[in-house]
Structure 1
Amino acid sequence: MAVFDAQAFQDDIGVSRETLDRLAAYETVLRKWQPRINLVGPSTLPDLWRRHFLDSAQLQPLLPDGTRVLVDLGSGAGFPGLVLAILGVPEVHLVESDSRKAAFLREAARVAGASVTVHNKRIETVTGIEADVVTARALAPLADLLGWSFPFLGSRGTGLFLKGQTLDDELTATTKYWKMRTERFESRSDPTGTILRVSGIERGETDHG
């Protein structure tokens, strides 16, 4: 596979030089903190721009028109939420229960000039946010994601979830708990990955959790 660096990212996504510089500043902080905190899988570091930055940025065209408030669950190293904030989503909330990762997120956002709110809390304890979109990557099975997302979204918002090869099984497992509209998009960063867009979320006959 060809090297996918910052220039390749810019060519693919079409960001401005200023935005690319902000993302590169984020990359520098991540590489600095990585030896102390396992922010991303060590094997992905050589392909950081494809595996993490492109993986996150590919969600931007899938955001509904007029998206203003986005909640990123289990933000970890900031993918995809912090990338989407740098790309222009006006109000981004990063939810991360690990204090060290939350500290990293605040520093990365500061260095990248991204205006985000970091919630160093468990997802279920964050309240009072009405979101247009909830995102999550490699966090939990779909039924759990919907349970965590619903208080932010209700039936009017949209979920964008980066999923792997277990998606079909996860969708089957959600049917007794949730009703929703689903759309699938092939991942541009991972040949085995799928982006699932869900909307019209409603509780099913059996409540989950």
Structure 2
Amino acid sequence: MTEDDARSWIALRHGPVGITAMERIADLVAEENARQNLVAPSTLSMMWTRHLVDSAQLLQFADADSAAGPWIDIGSGAGFPGLVIAALTRRTVYLVEPRRKRAAFLEEAAERVGVADRVRVVAAPIQSLSGVVASVISARAVAPLTDLFAWAAACSSIRTQWILPKGQSAREDVATACETWHGVFHVEHSVTDAKSLIVLASKVARR
């Protein structure tokens, strides 16, 4: 997928409003990247493919009946995928980012993108979040599945969907997780890179 392809992908699914929102996020990340290393500098020229569409594609895996519940994004960093999800939907999204400078960026970015009313930035590890049960949990190459499931146990239920971009190691990660966790697991290919894989998990519970 080229950068032009990625823009067209967003335009087809989210229209001019989606394009404008993604442009704002791209500009904010590029601007902030000069102050702190949000993303690898080598990926700035591939922002639409490597970060924006790579995040936006996760929406197709979320069940429609989960739309009313919160989406929790673990290790949001530069806002991928959580800030993109918030910008393209009407969901309440929790951006969990323990690094203070990045959390501060996410708060400012949510304001400037116009989604601060629905975005909650949690400047702490996911283990500290309580009182919220997610309909969807995402985490973009943050940690092994076994760790993610354990860390977010207080924020998930048997009905929570897990949508987890994992690169090329997805199947191995699922096999390891199945030693200690029950669940329904499925692996999908990313639209931006056929070698990159996304783990979909549901009905997750400890063995």
TM-score normalised over the length of structure 2: 0.92
- 1:188 maps to which residue? 191
- 1:30 maps to which residue? 29
- How many Å apart are 1:188 and its aligned residue? 0.6
- 1:97 maps to which residue? 98
- 2:39 maps to which residue? 40
- 1:15 maps to which residue? 14
- 1:207 maps to which residue? none
* 1:7-57 deviation per Cα after TM superposition (whole angstroms, max 9, x unaligned): 33434x521212221221111111111011110111111100000000001
* Structure 2 alignment gaps of length 5 or more: none
- 2:111 maps to which residue? 110
Matched, 1:63 2:62: yes
Distance 2:192 2:172 in 1: 22
SS at match of 1:183: strand
Q: What are the within-5 Å matches in structure 2 for residues 33-182 of structure 1?
A: 33-66=32-65, 67-68=67-68, 69-114=70-115, 115-182=118-185
- How many Å apart are 1:190 and its aligned residue? 2.0
- How many Å apart are 1:120 and its aligned residue? 0.3
* 1:95-127 deviation per Cα after TM superposition (whole angstroms, max 9, x unaligned): 000000001111111111113000001111111
% identical equivalent positions: 34
Distance 2:37 2:204 in 1: 34
SS at match of 2:124: coil
Please say if residues 26 and 109 of structure 1, whose CA atoms lie closer than 8 Å, have aligned partners that are also in contact: no
Please say if residues 26 and 108 of structure 1, whose CA atoms lie closer than 8 Å, have aligned partners that are also in contact: yes
Please say if residues 10 and 53 of structure 2, whose CA atoms lie closer than 8 Å, have aligned partners that are also in contact: no
TM-score normalised over the length of structure 1: 0.91
The total of aligned residue pairs comes to 203
- How many Å apart are 1:179 and its aligned residue? 0.5
- The one-letter amino acid paired with 1:98 is R
Please say if residues 86 and 112 of structure 1, whose CA atoms lie closer than 8 Å, have aligned partners that are also in contact: yes
Please say if residues 144 and 173 of structure 2, whose CA atoms lie closer than 8 Å, have aligned partners that are also in contact: yes
Report the structure, 1 or 2, having the larger helix content: 2
Distance 2:182 2:57 in 1: 26
Distance 2:71 2:141 in 1: 17
* Structure 1 alignment gaps of length 5 or more: 205-209
Distance 2:105 2:193 in 1: 25
Distance 2:22 2:2 in 1: 21
Distance 1:138 1:108 in 2: 22
Please, what is the CA RMSD of the aligned residues?
A: 1.6
